[in-house]
């Protein structure tokens, strides 16, 4: 359990109002199966879950949809599509094939929102790994330029692949939801770092087909965040609001430095006010990657989620969704 405020969870009797927009992203309870995550969300009084494709794959797509439907939950989003930055024909074809499969999965699961992490530089063999060596000239010295380190060209390939996928997404009534990641993940996970960049990529397409998700862990630092949230709201592109906190010191793997709302540095009151003012009334997902939280019993994690939501997020939202 994270070492922050020790807030006792309120009773579940009023969950229909004060937890009516809270969603458990299955990444937060990594040790749970899909069935356990759904059962835990129901027991905690949550109305929604955000699903990761690995949990869906473990039981099969049709069975996953059945589990969620029978529990009476909605699917706030499916994570994740993306990784669109391949520069070779085989890599491009594989990315398109996987993302088309993800679009079908989202439609089958009953969510319009398919979150895209766009991918890092092609010089990254896998997320978190050391970079590939520079290509060598005949005398063994590095060549003067490496296309797989060309950030501008890589971002253009992201735009090209989104354009390739938009018609298929529209056909299935699924929205491609672009997620900007913190700049420390540019090399290996996402060459899109700001909400403004994500909106620039989305702008050529209808808002119902390409949107954005606002993840506090990734965007809290951005000096232009208020203006870009307002821009996203004006365009009708806010497809999700994900909340977790920024912890220090960073873990050896920075990806695992997320924490419970209220344990770190993020100003949830201000960001939530901005998101609310922009007109967003959808689900609020808690998505946490943190080994200590993963090692905590899931029901305890959900109780903490609910308590922190009531304290740090709920007071800054508009009226609950009926």
* 141 pLDDT tier (thresholds 50, 70, 90): low
pLDDT of residue 1: 35
C-alpha neighbours within 13 Å on the C-beta side of residue 301 = 29
47 phi and psi angles, rounded to 5 deg: -95, -5
Which residues make beta-bridge pairs with 75?
49
pLDDT mean over 189-198: 98
- Spans of all domains in the chain: 15-128+147-316
What pLDDT, in 10s, does the model give residues 199-227? Answer: 999 999 999 999 999 999 999 999 999 99
* 2 pLDDT tier (thresholds 50, 70, 90): very low
For residues 91-118, one letter each, b for 16 or more C-beta atoms within 10 angstroms of the residue's C-beta and e for the rest, the string is bbeebbeebbebbebbbebebbbbbbbb
* 142 pLDDT tier (thresholds 50, 70, 90): low
CATH number for 15-128+147-316: choose from 3.20.20.300, 3.30.70.1400, 3.20.20.150, 3.40.1160.10.
3.20.20.150
Choose among 317, 312, 293, 261: nearest CA to 26: 293
SS3 243: strand
pLDDT mean over 138-150: 74
């Amino acid at each position: 359990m994270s070492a922050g405020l020790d807030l006792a969870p309120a009773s579940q009797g009023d969950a229909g109002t004060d937890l009516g927009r809270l969603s458990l992203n299955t990444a937060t309870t990594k040790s749970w199966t899909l069935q356990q995550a759904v059962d835990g969300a129901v027991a905690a009084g949550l109305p929604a879950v955000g699903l990761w494709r690995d949990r869906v794959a473990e039981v099969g797509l049709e069975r996953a949809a059945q589990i969620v439907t029978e529990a009476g939950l909605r699917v706030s989003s499916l994570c994740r599509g993306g990784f669109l930055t391949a520069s070779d024909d085989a890599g491009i074809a594989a990315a398109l094939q996987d993302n088309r499969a993800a679009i079908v999965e989202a439609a089958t699961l009953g969510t319009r929102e398919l979150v895209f992490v766009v991918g890092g530089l092609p010089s990254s063999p896998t997320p978190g790994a050391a970079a590939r060596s520079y290509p060598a000239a005949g005398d063994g010295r590095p060549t003067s330029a490496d296309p797989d380190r060309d950030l501008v060209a890589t971002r253009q390939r992201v735009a090209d692949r989104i354009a390739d996928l938009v018609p298929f997404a529209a056909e299935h009534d699924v929205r491609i939801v672009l997620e900007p990641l913190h700049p420390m993940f540019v090399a290996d996970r996402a060459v899109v770092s700001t909400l403004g960049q994500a909106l620039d990529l989305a702008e050529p397409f209808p808002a119902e087909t390409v949107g954005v998700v606002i993840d506090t862990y990734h965007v809290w630092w951005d000096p232009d965040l208020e203006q870009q949230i307002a821009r996203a709201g004006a365009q009708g592109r806010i497809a999700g609001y994900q909340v977790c906190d920024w912890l220090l010191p960073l873990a050896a793997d920075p990806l695992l430095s997320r924490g419970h709302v209220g344990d770190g540095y993020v100003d949830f009151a201000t960001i939530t006010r901005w998101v609310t003012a922009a007109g967003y009334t959808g689900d609020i997902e808690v998505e946490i990657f943190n080994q200590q939280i993963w090692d905590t019993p899931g029901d305890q994690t959900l109780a903490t989620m609910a308590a922190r939501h009531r304290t740090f997020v709920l007071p800054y939202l508009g009226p609950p969704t009926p």
